[in-house]
Structure 1
Amino acid sequence: MATQTSTQTALIADLDHWKAGVIGGLGGGLVFGILMSMMMPDIIGGATPGLYGLSGGVAGWTIHMAHSAVLGVVFAAIASPTGYDETLGKSLGAGIVYGLVLWAVLGAIVMPAWVGAVLPANPPVPNINPMSLVGHVVYGGVLGVLYAAFTAE
């Protein structure tokens, strides 16, 4: 009796999962950051660096990309052992769901609560922002695709 196993061939390189998570997170963060800079420039230039007592776009971009890389590693830690990295489609789907969860928890609750605690702004909690939702879903989708492209089983 023959058995079949599912294998994935990396499109670009066969990296450790955490490294692929960093690359995917940075790629997703770059695309999300560009969208944010165009649609919500006050977030990346003011609110994001303000969380850490800083100001300005360079600080905002640096923090945003650091968050993106760390969250990419978290994605890898979840996707790899659960099998959601076995195919490009599964990884893309998992990335989109991950982006939705990040938006619901971090974007809608944690970020506005933190901003309200450290800055003079008083955003609503939860802050249901459709542009933020789109950005987080795009982040997750790009993360999922790049993660799959850089991993192999």
Structure 2
Amino acid sequence: MAETETAVRRDRRERSRWVDAAIAGLAGGLVFGLYLQFVVGVLPPRATADGVGSLALDWAVHLFHSLVFAVVYAELVGWPRLARYADRAGTGAIVGAGYGVVLWGVATLVVMAFWAVANTVWVLPIPGLNLGSLVGHLLYGVVLGVVFAAVRR
């Protein structure tokens, strides 16, 4: 009987992993976004052609990215070697922090270079290793890891 209950619980946990990731990603994205907006000051509304910016649109894009990267995190920590660490808040924070640093590195070193080329900047910029951005990505990763572990329980 206990074996059947364990299998049911395991199946339910597998089915809800993306939902758990979405909850954790929104929590991490919220903390990261508040940090960007009020501490770093890089999430103000952008001016558009009519002179009006949309803070709501910037937040929507930011939270969408937070959700996408949370689902990627959920898939990565689904690997058996990482799964045992991701299901506990303390070690989940460490795994999440590492994930945040990797995201920061990829965003800084790769994505920004491709964005520059796509926007007709033909000389690739030297990556600016922004400490504020690193701290924000670390916050995102830690909150993602802790909340993911908490909702997985």
Q: Does TM, normalized by the shorter one, top 0.5?
A: yes
Contact (CA 8 Å) 1:108, 1:129: kept in 2 or not? no
TM-score normalized with structure 1 length? 0.73
Q: Which amino acid aligns with 2:128?
A: N
CA contact (8 A) 2:29 2:66 kept: yes
Range with bigger deviation, 110-119 or 122-131: 110-119
Taking only aligned residues, the RMSD between alpha carbons, in angstroms, comes to 2.9
Structure 1: unaligned runs, 5 residues or longer: 1-13, 50-54
Which has the higher Rg, Structure 1 or Structure 2?
A: 2
Q: Is 2:32 the partner of 1:32?
A: yes
| Cα deviation, residue 86, structure 1 | 3.0
Runs of 4+ in 1 over 4 A off after TM superposition: none
> How many angstroms apart in 2 are the aligned matches of 1:112 and 1:35?
24
Q: Letter of the aligned partner of 2:67 in structure 1?
A: A
Question: Partners in 1 of 2:68 and 2:97 — Cα distance?
Answer: 17
Q: 1:115 to 1:29 in 2, by over 3 A?
A: farther
Work out whether residues 113 and 125 of structure 1, in 8 Å CA contact, stay in contact via their aligned partners in 2: no
Please say if residues 21 and 72 of structure 1, whose CA atoms lie closer than 8 Å, have aligned partners that are also in contact.
Answer: yes
Q: What SS does structure 2 have at the residue aligned with 1:45?
A: coil
Q: Are residues 44 and 65 of structure 1, via their aligned partners in 2, closer, same or farther at CA, if it must alter by over 3 Å?
A: farther
For these two proteins, the number of residue pairs brought into alignment is: 132
Cα 1:36/1:60, change in 2 over 3 Å:
same
Larger helix proportion of the pair: 2
Q: Is the CA contact 1:102–1:136 (under 8 Å) kept in the aligned structure 2?
A: yes
Alpha-carbon distance between aligned partners in 1 of 2:110 and 2:42, rounded to the nearest angstrom: 18
SS in 2 for 1:138: helix
Q: Which has the higher contact order (CA 8 A, sep 6+)?
A: 1
> When the two structures are superposed, what TM-score results if normalisation uses the length of structure 2?
0.73
